[in-house]
Structure 1
Amino acid sequence: MKNKTTAAWLAFLGGPLGLHRFYLRGWGDMLGWLLPIPSALGLYGIERARMFGLDDAWSWALVPLLGFTIAGCALTAIVYGLMTPEKWNARYNAGAPADAPPGRTQWLTIGAVVLALLFGSTVLMASIVFSFQRYFEYQIEEGRKISQ
């Protein structure tokens, strides 16, 4: 039986690697195998920013991929944690009673939801700010080139 608390923590902590998808849907889940790609590209963007500085256009295009992936996985953890036991058991524990223990919300489930909300919203806002700042700086540089 699939436990809601375990799935919420896996989505929060291991979401960018697809761990929650593998836990709930098995090793054949295609999205679980695709989730590490934007995570790896974002990490590559961070490494490019360290090597070439923040003026590197590829880094400011790639870094937000990691942030948006983390934020999306945090949102998934929130959705899992707030799902009613009846809906959870109907979706992931077919054949189990509607009020089976794996679908119940516990304090650890609430902890995953709170941390996912805190960390996910912070990473999302930081990714948006980084993207827009770099974009507007690039536009100003291009405008200066045109005006000279």
Structure 2
Amino acid sequence: MKHGKSKTLATWIALVGGALGLHRFYLAGARDIWGWLYPLPTLLGLYGVFRMREFGLDDQLAWLLIPLLGLALSAAMLSAIVYGLTSDEVWQQRHNPDRTPAAPSGWLAVIGVIVALLIGASVLMATIAFSSQRFFEYQVDQARQLSR
């Protein structure tokens, strides 16, 4: 017997493993191209973090790659928010059209949305701050080199 797709479970999968596309695989299966594209920016961003830890803050490749991780995490949190805030009726029509109406999703989906909002907003603000700081520091260094 085929089980329906749970809105609450999809929300929490996006929250916990969304940066690797696990929520896409849950909803659309292993053939989902978007699910396979999620790990690439996540892994590139993690590589940037490891480069920064090894070579320091002056490694330009690291500060170009790290924002990819932040954007991947933010996109996953946005997916969790969208899943959790989708009405139960729309969710049923979209993901379980051939099944009888499911029970209401309840508070676990709402809690997942709250956690995703906290994490997503924090990660997005940190990504913007990090990228802006590195960009302006680079601009200052370029100006210093030209003035010599």
- Per the alignment, residue 100 of structure 1 pairs with 102
Quote the sequence identity (%): 52
Write the distance in 2 (CA, Å) between the matches of 1:26 and 1:52. Answer: 39
- Superposition misfits of 4+ residues, deviation over 3 angstroms: none
Q: CA deviation at 1:95?
A: 1.7
Structure 1 residue 3 and structure 2 residue 6: aligned?
A: yes
Unaligned 5+ runs, structure 2: none
Q: Distance in 1 between matches of 2:121 and 2:97?
A: 33
One-letter code aligned to 1:25? A
1:83 maps to which residue? 86
Residue 31 in structure 1 maps to residue 34 in structure 2: yes
Partner amino acid, structure 2, of 1:100: A
TM-score by length of 2: 0.95
Task: Report what 1:68 is aligned to.
Answer: 71
Equivalence for 1:119:
119
Structure 1: segments with no counterpart, 5+ residues: none
Residue 94 of structure 1, CA deviation: 1.2
The answer to whether the aligner puts 1:110 opposite 2:110 as a matched pair is: yes
Structure-2 residue corresponding to 1:145: 145
- CA distance in structure 1 between the aligned counterparts of 2:108 and 2:123, rounded to whole angstroms: 22
Secondary structure at 2:57 match in 1: coil
How many Å separate the matches in 1 of 2:22 and 2:105? Answer: 20
Superposition TM-score, scaled by structure 1 size: 0.95
- 2:134 is paired with a residue of what secondary structure? helix
Supply the AA of the counterpart residue of 1:140: V
Give the Cα–Cα distance (whole angstroms) in 2 for the partners of residues 28 and 95 of structure 1.
21
CA distance in 1, matches of 2:105, 2:26: 18
Number of residues of Structure 1 aligned to a counterpart in Structure 2: 145
Separation in structure 2 between the aligned mates of residue 95 and residue 34 of structure 1, nearest angstrom: 29
Which digits, 9 at most, give the CA deviation of each residue in 1:52-110, with x for residues without a partner? Answer: 1011100110001001110111011000000011110110001224x422xx3311111
What RMSD over aligned residues (CA atoms) do the two structures have, in Å? 0.8
* Alignment partners' CA distance in 2, 1:126 and 1:42: 14
Q: Which amino acid aligns with 1:63?
A: I
